[in-house]
Copies of this chain bind each other. A is one copy, B any other.
């Protein structure tokens, strides 16, 4: 007796309005021509959700990159312990500092822009440029960060062979922070690339 009761709701809940795709179309897209109002709204809602998720994850990644760049900047800038143990005697460390500052400014601006857009709904950069600025900015700053971190590693390694002190430790940690900021921005640039290549259809 319970069997028909259970099977009935299933039949009812099946989407009755899913019409057969139109035939004779040239491309995949046109096979969905008959999807009516309800399907369209569901699609739009789904797209909104996906865009929201992308926006949130790119904001989170940039926040992470901002924190790590700021840490790299602060640790390297305060790395002055007298005598030969001053970061500004070495061009590699100056490079790390410069790129950490650049990355802090860039990610700081991006995080500020995204929070501003989220809270007020107004755009600082016109919508048609945002995609390209995001993508190329993320990509270029990520390349600069990995370049700066890589250039400073051999010097630090060589110093640590001799003596291991607060100067070499600070340098190593600043380099690590720059590397983590690179990882976050590299992921963010993948998301920006995805958004860029889909933006003209929105």
User: Among B43, B92, B157, which residue has its beta carbon within 8 angstroms of that of A154?
Assistant: B92
A190: interface (CB < 8 Å)? yes
Is chain A's interface secondary structure helix, strand, loop, or mixed overall? helix
Taken residue by residue from 46 to 66, chain A's Cβ proximity to chain B (1 for < 8 Å, 0 otherwise) reads as 110000000000000000000
- Residues of chain B lying within 8 A (CB to CB) of residue A82: none
What separation, in Å, do the CA atoms of A57 and B179 have in the docked complex? 31
Collect the chain B residues with CB atoms within 8 Å of residue A108's CB. Answer: none
- Partner of A43 from the list B20, B22, B30, B153 (CB cut-off 8 Å) is B30
Question: Is A35's beta carbon under 8 Å from chain B?
Answer: yes
Instruction: List residues of A whose CB falls within 8 A of some B CB.
Output: 10, 13-14, 19-23, 25-33, 35, 37, 39-41, 43-44, 46-47, 91-92, 139, 142-143, 146-151, 153-155, 157, 186, 190, 193-194, 197-198, 200-201
